[in-house]
Chain A
Amino acid sequence: MALALTGCSGWALSSGSELEQEAQKVHTQIQVMSLVATAARTQAHPASNSLHVMLDDAENELEDNQSALASLPADEPGRTEILDLTRAAFGTLGPLRTAIDDRDTAGLDRLRQELDSPPSPPRSAASRW
């Protein structure tokens, strides 16, 4: 029974192709960044420690995603678009950290809008977008 449940969990946690899984992970990190921007925007005194730790986690995850995507066949449909999206998310991390530290509400709004409307990858590669 333990083996069946473990197998079930393995299947549950790894359903979909590798590209779809990576697309979902990148999507998750972009959503985290967007929510962090919203949280920093809505509170008078941003909890910069906590928000920075969340962004550090997102950065680490994006690094892993980038490595995993780079190891996939170059001709796989959607791979390039998701890789571009990962790079774009990376590029947003720095300005987002600065905006949180500076309590730049206009900058946070702009970054959140950018994050909420990323370029759409093909539906076959990222069905949840």
Chain B
Amino acid sequence: MIELASGIPQVVWIVPIGIALWLVVWRVKFEKMEQAFGLSGLAILVFAVSVWWLSPDWGALGTQAMSFSPPAGEPLPTYLFYAITLFAAAMTPYEVFFFSSGGLDEGWDADMLNMQRVNVMVGFPLGGILSVGIAAAAASALLPTGMDVETFGQVVLPVALALGVGGMAVALVGFFAATVGAALETGLSCGYMMGQYFGWSWGKRLRPVNAARFHVTVALCLLAGVIVVQTGLDPILITEVSLVFSAVALPLTYLPVLIVAWRRRSSTARSSIRTRIRWAKWTT
């Protein structure tokens, strides 16, 4: 996307961006990271706005959105593959490690629970709206042409058609923020996982001298990402393959969380029943 904005080949940008990411992870506080990249990511809303400019057939768009079957000519395995990867993309396992460990790292306590609930209740639907906006813009501008979307430039074409250079610049800012945010999350979650598994002292809040192995792990993960991208492998293909493995790891990640949540709810319910029985005995 930087290549799209600057015209300079992406290979030139990989190392500087990698170093910049490492500096952000090391020096910038959680709160600043969340505010800067979270708010900038909202720029992706430009896709939803561009759908209005493209004046699609709203009826057909609604039918496509509500249809749970492959479109005409699309093989079922292709449809299922994208359905599964979409599901995996929305619930990637690293997010569980990142948010649970990041919560500890940032010093969340019970008082912040309500705010986090609001974050989830508002943030996840908002993310869904952003995704639907991208899909709707692509369905309006690209689907009728029968083309396959293969490059990043093709993804922003609907915005370029609807809103011109200004809209495309906003879309690129949004994608940059979302991509940098994801890179920071994955880098940190690698450090969290390794730190917790091996029993190291871990946390972004700790200075490198106090959590050297955690900080080195995060730096090495970012370096690994730089090396993989530098090989010239198609990043979209890498993402698709990684989402396949995410889909496999999904039940292993969420099942323990669901079991713990269910047990806690059950114990709360049991406690409530005990209280009612005591109340009934007392009244009789």
Contact = CB atoms under 8 A, between A and B. Distances in A.
Interface of A: 1-2, 5-6, 8-9, 11-13, 15, 24-25, 27-28, 31-32, 34-36, 38-39, 42-47, 49-54, 57, 61, 128
A47 B154 CA distance: 14
Interface residues of B, number: 37
A101 to B, nearest CB: 12
Nearest to A55: B153
A28 to B, nearest CB: 4
Contacts, number: 100
B160 A43 contact: yes
Contacts of A32: 147, 153-154, 157
Given A45-B164, A50-B5, A28 B148 contact: yes
B77 A12 contact: yes
Given A5-B248, A35-B161, A50-B165, 18 more contacts: A1-B248, A6-B241, A9-B240, A12-B82, A15-B75, A15-B78, A24-B148, A31-B146, A32-B147, A35-B142, A43-B160, A43-B165, A45-B165, A47-B165, A50-B156, A50-B172, A54-B4, A57-B151
Contact of B145 (A13, A31, A52): A31
B7 interface: yes
B164 A54 contact: no
B114 interface: no
A32 B245 CA distance: 31
A10 B89 CA distance: 19
Contacts of A54: 4, 151, 153-154, 157
| B interface, over-half SS | helix
Interface string B139-182: 00110011110110110110011001100110010000000000
B84 interface: yes
B262 interface: no
Contacts of B147: 27-28, 31-32
Return the 7 tightest CB-CB contacts between A and B, nearest first. A43-B164, A12-B78, A47-B165, A49-B7, A54-B153, A31-B147, A39-B160
A64 to B, nearest CB: 11
A77 to B, nearest CB: 21
A8 B84 CA distance: 11
A61 B141 CA distance: 21
Candidate in A8, A39, A46 with the most chain B CB atoms within 10 angstroms: A39
A49 B5 contact: yes
Candidate in A9, A15, A42, A49 with the most chain B CB atoms within 10 angstroms: A9
B157 A5 contact: no
Candidate in A24, A27, A28, A46 with the most chain B CB atoms within 10 angstroms: A28
A50 B160 CA distance: 9
A39 B98 CA distance: 40
A12 B81 contact: yes
B168 to A, nearest CB: 5
Contact of B161 (A2, A12, A38, A49): A38
